[in-house]
DNA sequence: AATCATTGAAACAATCTTGGTTACATTCAG
DNA sequence: CTGAATGTAACCAAGATTGTTTCAATGATT
């Protein structure tokens, strides 16, 4: 099972989108996610590096959406949080004296890449805005 | 990163397909994969449960392919080794007093399922026989 | 200026998964 | 009977992930 950071990141962005332009504190967000504020800040720091959110320190500070919810796709989010490949190769290099051991990784690499790309393309069909509309159908979203 | 068992299982099945109808020992296979024989037996036990291979105890024993290499797809293999979903939900249930916390998991579940299905469909386009042909182009495969 | 709420960041602990190893009973061919 | 193999359980090691604590820095408010 892939870690929960992807799901938590979607949750956080939905909150920020729903409350926009109100900045939210990591403490408030952690209350909705039901975890520790530091866990939220760690994930939000990655999203800030990717240009999706901004933060303000000090009293009255918090986190605010910068990207449009319509433009944030689950596929893009997945790539931000989980760079590299989803499939793991051998832990130790296979035996190169065996023809199969020698060729297996090269043979698999492209198949794995294509499969992961198919998953990400499918994820790209969903946006944060779409999820918020599903969860809060009556809400009128304000956008950055 | 997903664990390496998927890659190792493909490796093992390619060996069994390439050497068919010769039974291979877990010790021999472990030598090609470069790991411990018990690790190989653990994976092969799952594949046996799924009806892909059979084992014989005792001297001269080993593992033999039962399914046709053409019929074993990477997608099917993936499902055998990794039942359930690839995406992890929250570790602790989100706060149901929050509208987003209440609806997020239900909103995500179907998107996650569709994305995983897209990946498995893409993996289904590749078979063990195809990989063996890539690695050992000159080999004439015998089939169960 | 003082206070208080917040982020930023490091350090550490707890838990889980995975992979590797050992050990030993069981099976079976020769 | 012997030796080589599987079957299985138990355990350890390493790594990843998550949660927690702590404290410095920031900045709004009074």
Q: Judge if A64 and A37 occupy the same domain.
A: yes
Q: Judge if A51 and A121 occupy the same domain.
A: no
| pLDDT surpasses 90 at A140 | no
Q: What percent of chain B has pLDDT over 70?
A: 96
Look at residue B16 in the predicted model and tell me its pLDDT.
98
**CB of A91 within 7 Å of some strand C atom:** yes
Look at residue B83 in the predicted model and tell me its pLDDT.
72
Look at residue B137 in the predicted model and tell me its pLDDT.
86
Q: Do A34 and B94 touch (CB under 8 A)?
A: yes
| pLDDT surpasses 70 at B13 | yes
Residue in B34, B107, B116 closest to A131 by CB: B107
Q: Judge if A25 and A62 occupy the same domain.
A: yes
* Domain presence at residue B30: yes
Which residue spans within chain B are E strands per DSSP?
53-56, 62-65
* Domain presence at residue A40: yes
Q: Judge if A25 and A54 occupy the same domain.
A: yes
| pLDDT surpasses 80 at A94 | yes
- Per residue in A49-72, pLDDT (tens digit) is 999 999 999 999 999 999 999 999
Please enumerate, as own/partner, the contacts of A58-66 that have beta carbons within 8 Å and a separation of 24 or more: A61/A23, A61/A25, A62/A23, A62/A24, A62/A25, A62/A26, A62/A28, A63/A16, A63/A23, A63/A24, A63/A25, A63/A26, A63/A29, A64/A16, A64/A20, A64/A21, A64/A23, A64/A24, A65/A13, A65/A16, A65/A17, A65/A20, A65/A144, A66/A144
Assembly ipTM: 0.92
For testing contact with chain A, the best of B82, B102, B115, B117 (most A CBs within 10 A): B115
- Per residue in A20-35, pLDDT (tens digit) is 999 999 999 999 999 9
**Residue range(s) defining the domain that contains residue B120:** 5-135
Whole-model pTM: value is: 0.93
Q: Judge if A67 and A13 occupy the same domain.
A: yes
* Domain presence at residue A77: no
* Domain presence at residue B142: no
Q: Judge if A49 and A9 occupy the same domain.
A: yes
Residue in A7, A35, A111 closest to B108 by CB: A7
Q: Do A100 and B134 touch (CB under 8 A)?
A: no
Q: Judge if A142 and A105 occupy the same domain.
A: no
Q: How far apart are CA B17 and CA A107, in angstroms?
A: 16
Look at residue B2 in the predicted model and tell me its pLDDT.
65
Q: Is A45 on the interface with B (CB under 8 A)?
A: no
Q: Judge if A55 and A118 occupy the same domain.
A: no
Residue in A31, A88, A100 closest to B4 by CB: A88
Q: What percent of chain B has pLDDT over 90?
A: 90
Q: Do A87 and B14 touch (CB under 8 A)?
A: no
CATH number for the domain that contains residue B97: 1.10.10.10
Counting the structural domains of chain A, the total is 2
| pLDDT surpasses 60 at B1 | no
* Domain presence at residue A81: no
* Domain presence at residue B141: no
* Domain presence at residue A106: yes
Q: Judge if A8 and A52 occupy the same domain.
A: yes
* Domain presence at residue B97: yes
């Amino acid at each position: 099972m892939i870690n929960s950071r992807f799901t938590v990141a979607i949750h956080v962005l939905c909150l920020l989108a729903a409350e926009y332009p109100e900045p939210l504190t990591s403490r408030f967000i952690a209350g909705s996610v039901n975890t520790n504020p530091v866990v939220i800040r760690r994930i939000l720091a990655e999203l800030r590096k990717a240009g999706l959110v901004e933060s303000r320190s000090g009293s009255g500070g918090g986190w605010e959406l910068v990207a449009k919810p319509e433009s944030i796709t689950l596929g893009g989010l997945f790539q931000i949080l989980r760079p590299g490949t989803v499939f793991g190769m051998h832990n130790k290099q296979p035996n190169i004296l065996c023809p199969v051991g020698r060729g297996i990784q090269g043979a698999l690499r492209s198949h794995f890449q294509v499969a992961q790309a198919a998953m990400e393309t499918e994820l790209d069909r969903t946006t944060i805005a779409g999820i918020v509309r599903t969860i809060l159908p009556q809400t009128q979203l304000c956008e950055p």
